[in-house]
Amino acid sequence: MERFRDPGKVKNLNLARLKRSGLTFEVAIHPDKAIAYKEGKDVMIEDVIYADGVFHDLKKNKPAELKTLKTVFGTDNIVDVEKTIIKEGEIQTTAEYREKQREEKKKRIVNLITVNAVDPKTNLPHPPTRILNAMEEVKVRIDDNKSAEAQIAEVVHQLRKVLPIRFETDTIELRVPSSGVGKCMPIIKQQNIKKEEWLNDGSLLAVVEVPAGLREDFISKINKCTHGGCDIKVKNRL
């Protein structure tokens, strides 16, 4: 999608917003790409930004002056300021986008449960429809601020009220070297973090719960980020 020049004429924008020095600064963004960029993934800033410019109130088309950007951010380079707003600010999304993400996350949760859980009476997987119906019955609430993986334990706990279910989860202890923490954190945060301790040398000691079916993929990603320099221990299966 090409950038547009008059964002004031466009409704329901997804924004990145940062408050600094008593002022609000906004840029229009593609939310999926903005979140990926914020997490340090390989995304070009040109693909993240939806509208040219930095604004105090984008929907009212009130741009920030270059001299203001220079004073507040130390530069009047628009792209550099856009990067700072996305990295340090809050991603604001529309209700429509949030609902879409919620539904996709629900599907992901159902898939993870189908792959990693069984009915203890038969040792067979529960069909996706049965899991969805049980989620509706116990009124499972999908958390917009957590990954699907990080919500699995709580969802399964709620499902057990109405559905016999055994879910296999591996507990993994990681000692991530300081040089790899930045790249590893987005991957770690996708899981259910049970412990997070920063050590004196800047390394991270973390304990996470990972669906058993995703264990090897998770470990592979961590090893790739740290070039094999992460100490990884699979402690036990819950």
- The single-letter DSSP state of residue 124 is B
Residues shown for the chain: 238
Confidence (pLDDT) at 5? 47
Phi/psi region, residue 131 (left: phi>0; alpha: psi -120 to 50; beta: rest), is alpha
Cα angle 205, 210, 212 (rounded to 5 degrees) comes to 135
Residue 218, domain member (yes or no)? yes
pLDDT range class, residue 237, cuts 50, 70, 90: low
Q: Give residue-wise pLDDT tens across range 81-122.
A: 999 999 999 998 888 888 998 999 999 999 999 988 999 999
Q: Give residue-wise pLDDT tens across range 3-14.
A: 444 544 455 689
31 and 56 inside one domain: yes
Of the listed ranges 78-82, 115-119, 218-222, the least confidently predicted one is: 115-119
- The proportion of the chain whose per-residue pLDDT surpasses 70, expressed as a percent, equals 94
Q: Give residue-wise pLDDT tens across range 122-145.
A: 989 999 999 999 999 999 999 987
Domains identified in the chain, total number: 3
83 and 124 inside one domain: no
Range of the domain at 209: 169-237
Confidence (pLDDT) at 11? 56
